[in-house]
């Protein structure tokens, strides 16, 4: 059997450098730009330590894409639907897996419920007053402050030039229990992107995600029956960043040169889909036109055509 030859292609539009083994595409899988040229692999990029592998093939991904497109509005732009068959590509996306110990100082207003019996009077139609009792629930508030030490170990941020972190966030989470130590054989035959974003930039993004996560860990930890005004300040320690590859399916459609591409992204492990499918102006105008036509027809019918 002839060995597969790997080649690196770089996109002049989004800057992604993708390594192809055996397979080739004419346009960038992230942005559909035709400005996609061969160049030598770049030196000094980190090698992945771990990989989350794809759980299904392209047939599975196309079914997920079709059922997601089926849930979009009838007014969606038809161009993205027509492009689906050829355009969907599986890519091992470079990312960093961040972990740290977090020290947080928090404050909140804790509500404790208690019940009281109160009396009230009613007057009937004869003017007799009667006294009754009822049980009411009241809340007492007290301020709470404290320290919370936690371990953050599941923050994943994009190190891809082609796919910004917000789009990766939208298809997360990945099941990190399925993380495997990287070997080239695990990604053989797939497109892989080189690590493109610098580690310091990814550390910043990771810290922000980690601090946001603290809120989710503090909320169930609050005592009392209710709470409000939860605020926290977090410092991180013992940070670590592991380069990982995560599986994504990407469908990019370039419909106008001066517009960014339409893009649908699917988590290659869980099948979660995200994307911005724009509405078609023509379909909306047609619907408004038909609606107006119907109203005019009703008015004519109601007035007997006078
Ligand atoms: Zn591109």
Secondary structure string (H, E, C) spanning 212-257: HHHHHHHHHHCCCCEEEEEEEEEEEEEEEEEEEEEEEEEEEECCCC
Q: How many angstroms from the chain centroid is the CA of residue 288?
A: 33
Distance in Å, CA 268 to ligand 1 centroid: 20
Whether residues 83 and 101 share a domain: the answer is yes
Distance in Å, CA 17 to ligand 1 centroid: 9
What range does the domain containing 128 cover?
A: 114-142
pLDDT of residue 215: 86
Distance in Å, CA 184 to ligand 1 centroid: 24
| DSSP annotation of 177 | G
Q: How many angstroms from the chain centroid is the CA of residue 145?
A: 32
> Which residue ranges of the chain lie beneath pLDDT 50?
1-3
- Dihedral, CA of residue 183, residue 184, residue 186 and residue 190, to nearest 10: 150
Phi, psi (degrees; rounded to nearest 5) at 54: -65, 145
pLDDT of residue 255: 66
Whether residues 90 and 212 share a domain: the answer is yes
pLDDT of residue 305: 56
pLDDT of residue 78: 65
Please tell me whether the overall predicted TM-score, pTM, comes out greater than 0.85 for this model. Answer: no
Final residue before a domain boundary, out of 142, 159, 186: 142
Whether residues 136 and 199 share a domain: the answer is no
pLDDT of residue 1: 43
Q: For the residues of 39-98, what is the DSSP string, one character each?
A: -PPPSSPPPPSEEPPPSS-HHHHHHHHHHHHHTS-TTB-HHHHHTHHHH-EEEEEEEEEE
Listed residues: CB within 5 A of ion ligand 1: 11, 13-14, 28, 30-31, 33
Whether residues 165 and 224 share a domain: the answer is yes
Distance in Å, CA 267 to ligand 1 centroid: 19
Distance in Å, CA 81 to ligand 1 centroid: 20
Whether residues 128 and 244 share a domain: the answer is no
Residue 1 resides in a domain: no
Residue 258 resides in a domain: yes
Residue 305 resides in a domain: yes
Whether residues 263 and 289 share a domain: the answer is no
Distance in Å, CA 78 to ligand 1 centroid: 22
Distance in Å, CA 152 to ligand 1 centroid: 32
Whether residues 119 and 221 share a domain: the answer is no
pLDDT of residue 5: 65
Task: Please count the structural domains in the chain.
Answer: 3
pLDDT of residue 23: 67
Distance in Å, CA 37 to ligand 1 centroid: 11
Distance in Å, CA 14 to ligand 1 centroid: 4
pLDDT of residue 252: 85
Whether residues 179 and 263 share a domain: the answer is yes
Whether residues 192 and 253 share a domain: the answer is yes
pLDDT of residue 257: 66
Distance in Å, CA 41 to ligand 1 centroid: 16
Final residue before a domain boundary, out of 142, 161, 190: 142
């Amino acid at each position: 059997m002839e060995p597969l030859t790997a080649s690196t292609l770089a996109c002049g539009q989004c800057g992604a450098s993708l390594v192809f083994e055996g397979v080739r595409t004419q346009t960038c899988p992230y942005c559909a730009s035709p400005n996609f040229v061969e160049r030598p692999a770049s030196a000094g990029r980190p090698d992945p330590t771990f990989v989350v592998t794809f759980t299904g093939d392209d047939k599975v991904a196309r079914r997920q894409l079709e059922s997601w497109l089926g849930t979009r509005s009838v007014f969606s732009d038809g161009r993205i639907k027509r492009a689906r068959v050829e355009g969907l590509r599986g890519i091992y996306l470079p990312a960093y897996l961040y972990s740290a110990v977090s020290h947080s100082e928090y404050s909140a207003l804790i509500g404790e419920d208690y019940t009281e019996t109160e009396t009230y009077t009613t007057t009937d139609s004869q003017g007799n007053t009667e006294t009754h009792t009822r049980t009411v629930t009241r809340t007492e508030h007290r301020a709470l402050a404290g320290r919370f030490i936690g371990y953050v170990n599941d923050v994943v941020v994009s190190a891809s030039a082609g796919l910004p972190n917000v789009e990766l966030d939208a298809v997360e989470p990945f099941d990190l229990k399925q993380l495997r130590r990287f070997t080239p054989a695990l990604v053989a035959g797939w497109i892989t992107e080189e690590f493109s974003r610098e580690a310091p930039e990814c550390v910043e993004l990771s810290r922000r995600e980690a601090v946001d996560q603290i809120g989710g860990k503090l909320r169930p930890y609050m005592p009392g029956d209710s709470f409000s005004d939860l605020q926290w300040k977090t410092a991180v320690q013992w940070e670590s960043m592991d380069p990982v590859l995560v599986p994504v399916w990407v469908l990019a459609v370039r419909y106008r040169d001066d517009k960014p591409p339409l893009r649908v992204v699917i988590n290659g492990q869980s099948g979660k889909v995200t994307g911005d499918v724009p509405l078609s102006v023509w379909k909306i105008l047609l619907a408004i036109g038909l609606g107006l036509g119907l109203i005019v027809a009703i008015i004519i019918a109601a007035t007997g055509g006078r």
